[in-house]
Amino acid sequence: MRILVVEDDTDLNRQLVTALEEADYVVDSATDGEDGHFLGDTEPYDAVVLDLGLPTLDGLSVLEKWRRDGRLMPVLILTARDRWSDKVAGIDAGADDYVAKPFHMEEVLARVRALVRRAAGHASNEITCGPVRLDLRAGRVTVDGSSIKLTSHEFRLLSYLLHHQGKVISRTELTEHLYDQDFDRDSNTVEVFVGRLRKKIGSDMIETIRGLGYRLGDAGDS
Amino acid sequence: MLVTAEQPERSGSPERRKNQRSLAARLVLVAAVWSALALALAGVFLVSLYQSASERAFDVQLEVHIKALISEMLESSDEVSTRNSPTVQQPNYRGDPRFSLPLNGWYWTVRRADRPQILYASESLVGDPLNVPSLGDKESGASFIAGPTNDEVRVLQQRITIGDTAYVIAVGAATASYWADIHEFARLVALTLCIVGIGLILAIFLQVRVGLQPLSRLRSSLSTVRQGEAERIDEALPREIAPLAVELNALIVSNKEIVERARTHVGNLAHGLKTPLSVISNEARSSDGPLADKVTEQAAIMSTQIQHHLERARMAAQRRVIGVSCDTEPVLARLVRAMEKIYRDKELQIQLSQAAPIRFRGEGQDLEEMTGNLIDNACKWASSKVEISVSLSNDPTNNRAMFDVIVEDDGPGLTVKQRAEAVQRGKRLDETVPGTGLGLSIVADLAGLYGGTFKLDQSDLGGLKAQLTLPQLSSD
């Protein structure tokens, strides 16, 4: 899962990036509105954490521009101006949720997790597909009730496939959502990780659709 | 649990206002007193002029009779003897029949200047004396005396010298008709001046009414601004008071700018403080040890304090806003839309019911803040249902038009003790639900600032019932 953090305070930006990375998200970050808008406009993100008080272009304008241009990724706004008028203005501009500053990082992580899950159409924090169960809150994967150990990259790959189970996901889409913008898109790392994941959760769980990509679970499953 | 309302500031007490006399009454009173005085003086002056003129005319009439008497006294003497040694004879003056009728008010006498005895007198005196005052050294003189019948008589005396002898001829006439004329004139003058005076007072009243009408327009225009029905005072006023309207409009604009600036400052301060506070608090939470724990604890206290004082600063700025109001329905509908999005996971049924359009007499942002906190709180705790109803009510103590916003949920609700604690600053009843714990106390403070009330009760739905009573903008 790939997240964009747009926060002008470099310390807070760093903290958000670290916390999200520790939660196994791939994170890009920007410290002003224009850079943030550009990244959100050109890269596919699964969620955005957007501060409203940004230099060069304020957060509300960034959000409005994204929505006007049809960018529908879930957006969590961070605001120090926490009157309801500010919050409602953010929600009306297209935000999906808000967190008022000062906040606890756990709260931001919980909100981001909920946004990503909701965007993929899952109501609960546990996503299952056959014997595989992913606990989003604990970041734990079990197969037939037994916990399995996954590397960070494997976890991200499984999480993305579970969020979009039943759908064919191209290698490019996986690369875009599992790696940050500096990653070499032509490398065949995805195939390597799919192979390793098959060994851990069962070889029949991830189906290769020739020429199109991969699919977890049966078509139409959710 | 009822949070008492702090009454909003009012300008001047009604008692003081009652003692201030109306400007129009003051103008009418001064003009009326001055006009009455001027008319009275004019009346006195006119009557006195008329009296002097009447007196002169009366004296001229008496003088004619004196001359006729002198002529009669010398009539028999031939011209030469008169010139050389004039002699006096008894005048038989009948030039005016009134001198013949007994005691009818017209009299004449002739006496020697050096003796008091009367030589000749008119028949009308029928032997009675005419007690005229002495002329002294004067040649002539007029005076008022009591006549033979005790009536007032005006007497004109003239000294003449015939030969070596000086005579004093006195002609008198009763003054009754003279005074009757003067009194009639005075009555007519008084009547005329009274009519003129009443006309003047009416004209002054009209003038004041018409003259002060722009002031009354200015007052009603200012009142519409104060009530929030208009944003500016109508400046189409006479030259003399138009600058006042312009200045008042400038004051209103400046007032709004000050509030806006204060709000921006508070917003900037919030941003400036809360972002580093987030950094400090998250840095400390990600570390171990007593120092990190202390920093986390103190950062939480700072956060609550900052939140409280920023909110108070916002409210203090808010107190000075003149003339704002807003429709309740769009504000609540926007909040419901936002809550449905924020709490979509809970699949809550949020119902908003408002029978008639209601305008809140206050800032839309404040209504949004109060109701936003209540609805957010209800959504946090509700199991499946949140009901919001808006209805008209009345404040019986101040007889003001109010309205109620009632927010109910089907959550676990609060005990009486918890309800009392919920409105205390920074009190959070459940640390597992996000929030600063200031929400309900902010609602109570803001409601009090607007002269409203805030109550927490048990809802029929099973959860908490929050009732907010706020002033509405009445249509009158």
Q: In this structure, are residues B101 and B78 in contact, taking their beta carbons and an 8 Å threshold?
A: no
A57 touches chain B (CB under 8 A): no
Q: What CA–CA distance (Å, rounded) separates A176 from A186?
A: 11
pLDDT tens-digit readout, B323-367: 778 899 999 999 999 999 888 888 889 999 988 889 898 888 889
Choose among B319, B419, B446: nearest CA to B1. Answer: B419
Please count the other Cβ atoms lying within 10 Å of the Cβ belonging to residue B298: 13
Averaged pLDDT of chain B: 83
User: Would you place residue A109 in the very low, low, confident or very high pLDDT band (cuts 50, 70, 90)?
Assistant: very high
Q: Which residue of B has its CA nearest to A13?
A: B279
Q: Which residue of B has its CA nearest to A104?
A: B282
Q: In this complex, do B277 and A102 lie within 8 Å of one another by their Cβ atoms? A: yes
Mean pLDDT of A32-39: 94
| SS3 category, A48 | strand
Shortest Cα distance, chain B CAs vs residue A55, angstroms = 13
CA distances to A95, A170, B251, B293 from B349, in Å: 21, 39, 46, 41
- Tokens 């459940």 correspond to B430
Q: Is the pLDDT of residue B13 over 80?
A: no
DSSP string, B98-157: GGTSTTSSEEEEEEETT--SEEEE-GGGTT----PPP-TT-SEEEEEEE-TTS-EEEEEE
A102 touches chain B (CB under 8 A): yes
Q: In this complex, do B282 and A19 lie within 8 Å of one another by their Cβ atoms? A: yes
Please list every residue in chain A whose beta carbon sits closer than 8 Å to the beta carbon of residue B292: none
Identify the pLDDT of residue B438: 55
Averaged pLDDT of chain A: 86
User: Would you place residue B182 in the very low, low, confident or very high pLDDT band (cuts 50, 70, 90)?
Assistant: very high
Q: What CA–CA distance (Å, rounded) separates B174 from B149?
A: 10
Q: In this complex, do B286 and A105 lie within 8 Å of one another by their Cβ atoms? A: yes
Q: Is the pLDDT of residue B14 over 70?
A: no
Q: Is the pLDDT of residue B395 over 80?
A: no
Shortest Cα distance, chain B CAs vs residue A19, angstroms = 9
Please report how many Cα atoms fall inside a 13 Å half-sphere around the Cα of residue A2, on the Cβ side: 19
Identify the pLDDT of residue B320: 55
Identify the pLDDT of residue B3: 43
Q: Is the pLDDT of residue B79 over 60?
A: no
Please list every residue in chain A whose beta carbon sits closer than 8 Å to the beta carbon of residue B342: 91, 97-98
Q: In this complex, do B335 and A88 lie within 8 Å of one another by their Cβ atoms? A: yes
Q: In this complex, do A9 and B279 lie within 8 Å of one another by their Cβ atoms? A: yes
Q: In this complex, do B275 and A96 lie within 8 Å of one another by their Cβ atoms? A: no
Q: Which residue of B has its CA nearest to A123?
A: B345
B342 touches chain A (CB under 8 A): yes
pLDDT tens-digit readout, A138-153: 778 888 888 888 888 8
Count residue pairs from A and B with Cβ separation < 8 A: 92
Please list every residue in chain B whose beta carbon sits closer than 8 Å to the beta carbon of residue A124: none
- Tokens 């001046």 correspond to B193
Extract the tokens encoding A127: 């996503």
Q: In this structure, are residues A185 and A175 in contact, taking their beta carbons and an 8 Å threshold?
A: yes
Shortest Cα distance, chain B CAs vs residue A61, angstroms = 18
Q: What CA–CA distance (Å, rounded) separates A25 from A102?
A: 22
Mean pLDDT of B441-454: 84
Q: Mutating which of B263, B264, B275 best tests the A interface, going by the most A Cβ atoms within 10 A? A: B275
Query: Does residue A102 have a cis bond before it (omega within 30 degrees)?
Result: yes
B278 touches chain A (CB under 8 A): yes
A100 touches chain B (CB under 8 A): yes
User: Which candidate from A88, A107, A123 shows the least CB-CB separation from B338?
Assistant: A88
Q: Which residue of B has its CA nearest to A91?
A: B338
Q: What CA–CA distance (Å, rounded) separates B113 from B241?
A: 79
Choose among B344, B367, B372, B342: nearest CA to B438. Answer: B372
* CA A140, chain centre distance (Å): 17
Q: In this complex, do B368 and A88 lie within 8 Å of one another by their Cβ atoms? A: yes
User: Would you place residue A95 in the very low, low, confident or very high pLDDT band (cuts 50, 70, 90)?
Assistant: very high
Q: Which helix (H) or strand (E) holds B23?
A: helix B23-74
Please list every residue in chain A whose beta carbon sits closer than 8 Å to the beta carbon of residue B281: 102, 104
B319 touches chain A (CB under 8 A): no
pLDDT tens-digit readout, B105-133: 899 999 888 888 888 888 888 878 888 88
Q: Which residue of B has its CA nearest to A90?
A: B338
Identify the pLDDT of residue B437: 53
Q: Is the pLDDT of residue A14 over 90?
A: yes
Q: In this complex, do B369 and A83 lie within 8 Å of one another by their Cβ atoms? A: yes
Q: What CA–CA distance (Å, rounded) separates B441 from B426?
A: 8
Which residues on neighbouring strands pair with residue B166, listed in sequence order?
B161
Q: What CA–CA distance (Å, rounded) separates B317 from B93?
A: 105
Mean pLDDT of B237-242: 86
Q: What CA–CA distance (Å, rounded) separates A54 from A65?
A: 15
Q: Which residue of B has its CA nearest to A14?
A: B279
Contacts of A67 (CB under 8 A, 6+ apart): A93, A94
User: Would you place residue A175 in the very low, low, confident or very high pLDDT band (cuts 50, 70, 90)?
Assistant: confident
Q: In this structure, are residues A160 and A177 in contact, taking their beta carbons and an 8 Å threshold?
A: yes
pLDDT tens-digit readout, A61-83: 999 999 998 888 999 999 887 78
What burial class does residue B227 get, using C-beta atoms within 10 Å of its C-beta: 0-12 exposed, 13-18 middle, 19+ buried? Answer: middle
Shortest Cα distance, chain B CAs vs residue A7, angstroms = 10
Q: What is the dihedral of CA B405, B411, B416, B417, to 10 degrees?
A: -110
pLDDT tens-digit readout, B281-330: 888 888 888 888 888 888 888 888 887 777 777 777 665 566 778 899 99
Identify the pLDDT of residue B187: 96
Choose among B241, B274, B261: nearest CA to B320. Answer: B261
Shortest Cα distance, chain B CAs vs residue A32, angstroms = 15
Q: In this structure, are residues B446 and B316 in contact, taking their beta carbons and an 8 Å threshold?
A: no
Q: In this complex, do A81 and B285 lie within 8 Å of one another by their Cβ atoms? A: no
Please list every residue in chain A whose beta carbon sits closer than 8 Å to the beta carbon of residue B299: 102
Please list every residue in chain B whose beta carbon sits closer than 8 Å to the beta carbon of residue A88: 334-335, 338, 368, 372
Q: What is the DSSP letter of B472?
A: B
